[in-house]
């Protein structure tokens, strides 16, 4: 079984340390400083400079296909042995979308609704970024099932900052 640890920026160092993670994904805007823990080699850190928006806005970077493809490729290169830490600024939207996408990449035959339900059970505040999910759905050929699964779990509880949580990615049945 593989694990994805999701956290806000303020909890990255503690989450990496506590989990023993060997890989890190950062999804924050380009102006946000991210200190990569020393235990994570530079080549095991994916930094995606995107804002937490679902539609283009002046002065902001909306996630594009290239961002999501980089995320998919990074996850595919992960052996799943050590946990993967994923964070955004608050640990609520971009990072929970990335965790959901990672689970769909690692377990391609797993039902999207089941993965989304596990995400909701793990985090009452998870509100995955719709654009990230839609782009991944398209790139992974999931025919709208990822989008529908996230719509089904609905918006999470309102919070200023999320609490770190772990999404277990069970082995294929």
What's the mean pLDDT when you consider all of the chain?
95
What pLDDT score does 173 carry? 58
List the alpha helices (DSSP H) in 11-111.
Answer: 12-19, 65-76, 94-106
What pLDDT score does 147 carry? 98
pLDDT at residue 171 above 90?
no
pLDDT digits (tens, 9 = 90+) for 71-86: 999 999 999 999 999 9
pLDDT digits (tens, 9 = 90+) for 125-136: 999 999 999 999
CATH of domain 2-169: 3.90.190.10
Residue 80 near residue 106, CB atoms below 8 Å: yes
Mapped onto helix, strand or coil, the DSSP state of residue 50 is coil
pTM: 0.96
**Cα dihedral 53, 72, 117, 126 sign:** negative
pLDDT digits (tens, 9 = 90+) for 30-52: 999 999 999 999 999 999 999 99
Residue 115 near residue 82, CB atoms below 8 Å: no
pLDDT at residue 9 above 90?
yes
86: nearest Cα among 1, 169, 173, 171? 169
What pLDDT score does 26 carry? 98
Give the mean pLDDT of 129-158. Answer: 97
What pLDDT score does 170 carry? 77
Packing angle of the helix pair 130-139, 65-76 (nearest 10 deg): 70
Residue 146 near residue 104, CB atoms below 8 Å: yes
What pLDDT score does 172 carry? 63
pLDDT digits (tens, 9 = 90+) for 89-115: 999 999 999 999 999 999 999 999 999
């Amino acid at each position: 079984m593989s694990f994805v640890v999701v956290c806000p920026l303020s909890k990255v160092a503690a989450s990496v340390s506590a989990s023993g993670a060997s890989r890190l994904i950062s999804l924050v805007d380009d102006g946000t400083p991210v200190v990569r823990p020393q235990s994570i080699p530079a080549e095991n850190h994916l930094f995606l400079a995107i804002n937490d928006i679902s539609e283009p806005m002046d002065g902001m970077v909306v996630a594009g296909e290239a961002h999501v493809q980089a995320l998919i490729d990074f996850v595919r290169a992960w052996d799943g042995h050590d946990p993967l830490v994923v964070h955004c600024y608050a640990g609520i939207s971009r990072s929970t979308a990335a965790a959901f996408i990672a689970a769909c990449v690692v377990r391609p035959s797993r039902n999207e609704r089941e993965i989304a339900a596990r995400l909701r059970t793990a985090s009452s505040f998870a509100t995955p970024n719709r654009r990230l999910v839609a782009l991944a759905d398209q790139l992974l050929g999931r025919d709208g099932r990822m989008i529908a699964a996230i719509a089904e779990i609905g918006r999470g509880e309102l919070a200023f900052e999320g609490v770190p949580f772990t999404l277990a990615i069970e082995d294929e049945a």
